[in-house]
Amino acid sequence: MLKKFMFSLFILLSLTSPSWADLHIDITEGTFKPIEIAITPFDGGGDPALTQIANQISKVISNDLESCGLFKVVNPNAYIQNASEVMSHPRFPDWKILHAEALVGGLVKRRGQNFQVDFRLFDVFTESQLAGLALETEPSNWRRVAHKIADEIYERITGDKGYFDTRIVYVAESGPEMGRKYSLAIMDQDGENHQLISTGNQRVLTPRISPCRTKVAYVDFGANDKTPTLHIYDLATGKSVSLGSVDGQRMSPRFSPKGDHIILSSANKGAASLYKMDLATKKFERLTESTSSIDVSPCYSPDGSQIVYISDRGGKPQIYVRDASGGNERRISFSPGRYDNPVWSPRGDLIAFTRQNGNTFYIGVMRPDGSGERMLDIAYLLEGPTWSPNGRVLMYTCQTSSNAKVKLRSVDIVGFHKRDVNIPGEGSYPTW
Amino acid sequence: MRLKISSLLATAALALSACDCCMDECLDASGQGALAAAEAAAAAEACVPGTVADFVDNVGDRVFFDFDRSHVRADGMETLQRQAAWLNTYGNYVVTINGHCDKRGTTEYNLALGERRAHAAKEKLIAAGVDAHRIKVVSYGKNRPIVEQDGSEWAYQQNRVAITVLD
């Protein structure tokens, strides 16, 4: 299922004298202005087939960069040089007039069966090259090449790793509310290369991808729709295995940072406790001893030292943090309402969550000590946030009214840039 | 048409005995064409004590809960007392109690809340003499609604429910 992606990459020497980049976005700041970037349609060297691919590559790069909210693409109708001119002798003063702060050019050429994409990124004000790469690969990989170039541009300008060459698993939903069908689906982060990976005949909930993004843990209700058990789906083989079931209804699986075990919740006799399960030995270990409260939705900190989870021991469901080895338990959420789905950022600095207050739902973030809580989105129904691998974007389930379609939405946690993710039908609970 | 109304009301039927209500309906429905005949047949099944229809229509298979609560209310207690008496009479049945929540919540917490509701109903059945081994529970949380949730309070209430299903 995982497409092999072979490509070679080498650095293009700078056309301009080396300089330290002045062009950067400090994305730790609360407010900022998006970087204005000109992305010239890549040049196919007069070959019609290559020109078509070249144009598509620059479109995907533009779409990636605009989607994150940190960049604004300068209107291509105003461009005063084409890509091949930009690649050889960019006229910076002319681009300054268009208020372009960054400038991108690219060329696509044949290399036997493969093709090679050269691209350069310039800082218009310092008149210097920030990045130059050549990527060689099979023609069918053109989208991934575009995402890799977008990642490179993002990384050079923000200082953070890009997340455009990534995929997302989510629950594709279809049919009426009564008798709805659920399937696992996988797609590129921009919604392309969409594929269903389960049949839709079984109820599946809360997929969570493994740290190396090869497996997905989820809840499956079985062919009879009566036997909810945890399953692990292998993205490489397309096979799913049950983790078995004994006492209690198991839910909320998440992989440990090393991927060697999962943490989960098991509901039994009106209470729910947290457990861990070793994936090699299938050994089961109890983490919380709940006799009446519900402990659910556990998630590790990226270093594995702590666990964030939901407990209603104080009445309503609230966010708690504890040491992974036990002890040091503390409640960190105190705003009115109820919380669920806490997810630790891969950077470790924030915990994202769902909050419900009355009939209003929020997606928000707070620091692991509970400080700095802020809401990033509000709607009729929001739930199930997942972090981009660089910890800068959240994607989640969104429904804007009682009879609206259930869709996926993303928000940039700095720029508050929201956008609906392009999926063919309805969907929920993305995992990135 | 009275039949439909009375079968809806059956879950709320208080002290009416099975045969008082359905004998009436059987008589009432006879001789009213094919549709009425089908309804009469359904009513006749409900008339047979010890059947699934008898349990659903005359005993009442569902117990409703308040928002975010798993405490069995007085109306639910009455239903569960009737269920226990019925199950104690018809000892060949095993049951699964399905726990449900309305859609104004999150998937994960509500899976656990649904289990807590189903378990609360199970405890009452056990207290009323039903063998614990005859009762399984499974929670669907907010993900398998019982009625379409049009935003009305009635629909929310219908979905905050534990349903005893005869296996």
* A71-73 vs A35-39, strand pairing mode: parallel
* In chain B, residues 121-140 whose CB comes closer than 8 Å to chain A: 123, 137-140
Instruction: Compare CB distances from B143 to A203, A265, A341 and report the shortest one's residue.
Output: A203
How much of chain A, in percent, has pLDDT values that exceed 70?
92
Residue A82 CA to residue A309 CA, distance in Å, equals 53
CATH topology of domain A172-431: Neuraminidase (2.120.10)
Element (H, E) at B138: strand B135-141
Higher-confidence residue of A279 and B1: namely: A279
User: Model ipTM?
Assistant: 0.90
The ranges of chain A annotated as CATH 2.120.10.30 are 172-431
B48-104 pLDDT per residue, tens: 999 999 999 999 999 999 999 999 999 999 999 999 999 999 999 999 999 999 999
Residue A83 CA to residue A151 CA, distance in Å, equals 19
Count of CB atoms within 10 A of residue A3's CB? 9
- Using a CB-CB cut-off of 8 Å, the residues of chain B touching A176 are 148
* In chain A, residues 270-299 whose CB comes closer than 8 Å to chain B: 270-272, 294, 296-297
Instruction: Examine the pLDDT at A306 and tell me if it is beyond 80.
Output: yes
- Using a CB-CB cut-off of 8 Å, the residues of chain A touching B148 are 176-178
Q: How is residue B99 written in tokens?
A: 């726990």
Instruction: Examine the pLDDT at B16 and tell me if it is beyond 70.
Output: no
A42-78 pLDDT per residue, tens: 999 999 999 999 999 999 999 999 988 889 999 999 9
Searching chain B, which residue's CA lies closest to the CA of residue A225? B140
Work out the pLDDT band at A201, boundaries 50, 70, 90: confident
Among A135-139, A301-305, A345-349, name the one with the lowest average pLDDT: A135-139
The ranges of chain A annotated as CATH 3.40.50.10070 are 8-158
Residue B153 buriedness (CB in 10 A; 0-12 / 13-18 / 19+): exposed
| Domain coordinates in residue numbering, chain B | 2-48, 61-166
A229-282 pLDDT per residue, tens: 999 999 999 999 999 877 899 999 999 999 999 999 999 999 999 999 999 998
Q: Which residue has the tokens 């289990």?
A: B115
pLDDT (0 to 100) of residue A155? 95
Work out the pLDDT band at A22, boundaries 50, 70, 90: low
Q: Is B143 on the interface with A (CB under 8 A)?
A: yes
pLDDT (0 to 100) of residue A32? 66
Residue A237 CA to residue B60 CA, distance in Å, equals 47
Searching chain B, which residue's CA lies closest to the CA of residue A319? B109
Average pLDDT in the A382-407 region?
96
Residue A196 CA to residue A321 CA, distance in Å, equals 35
Q: How far is B116 from chain A (nearest CA, A)?
A: 4
Q: Is B70 on the interface with A (CB under 8 A)?
A: yes
Work out the pLDDT band at B4, boundaries 50, 70, 90: very low
* A318-323 vs A306-311, strand pairing mode: antiparallel
Residue A337 CA to residue A383 CA, distance in Å, equals 14
**Cβ B123–A270 below 8 Å, yes or no?**
yes
A321-342 pLDDT per residue, tens: 999 999 999 999 999 999 999 9
Instruction: Compare CB distances from A226 to B96, B104, B119 and report the shortest one's residue.
Output: B96
Instruction: Compare CB distances from B108 to A227, A251, A402 and report the shortest one's residue.
Output: A251
Work out the pLDDT band at A174, boundaries 50, 70, 90: very high
- CATH number given to B61-166: 3.30.1330.60
Q: How far is A395 from chain B (nearest CA, A)?
A: 16
* Contact status, residue A202 vs residue A221, Cβ threshold 8 Å: yes
How much of chain B, in percent, has pLDDT values that exceed 70?
72
Q: Is A239 on the interface with B (CB under 8 A)?
A: no
pLDDT (0 to 100) of residue B3? 35
AA letter at A200: G
Instruction: Compare CB distances from B119 to A269, A296, A341 and report the shortest one's residue.
Output: A269
- Using a CB-CB cut-off of 8 Å, the residues of chain B touching A252 are 108, 111
**Cβ A356–B105 below 8 Å, yes or no?**
yes
Range A8-158 has CATH code 3.40.50.620: no
Compute chain B's Rg from CA coordinates.
17
pLDDT (0 to 100) of residue A29? 46
pLDDT (0 to 100) of residue A16? 58
Q: How far is A27 from chain B (nearest CA, A)?
A: 31
* Contact status, residue B131 vs residue B103, Cβ threshold 8 Å: no
* Contact status, residue A411 vs residue A352, Cβ threshold 8 Å: no
How much of chain B, in percent, has pLDDT values that exceed 90?
67
How much of chain A, in percent, has pLDDT values that exceed 90?
84
Instruction: Examine the pLDDT at A8 and tell me if it is beyond 50.
Output: yes
Q: How far is B151 from chain A (nearest CA, A)?
A: 7
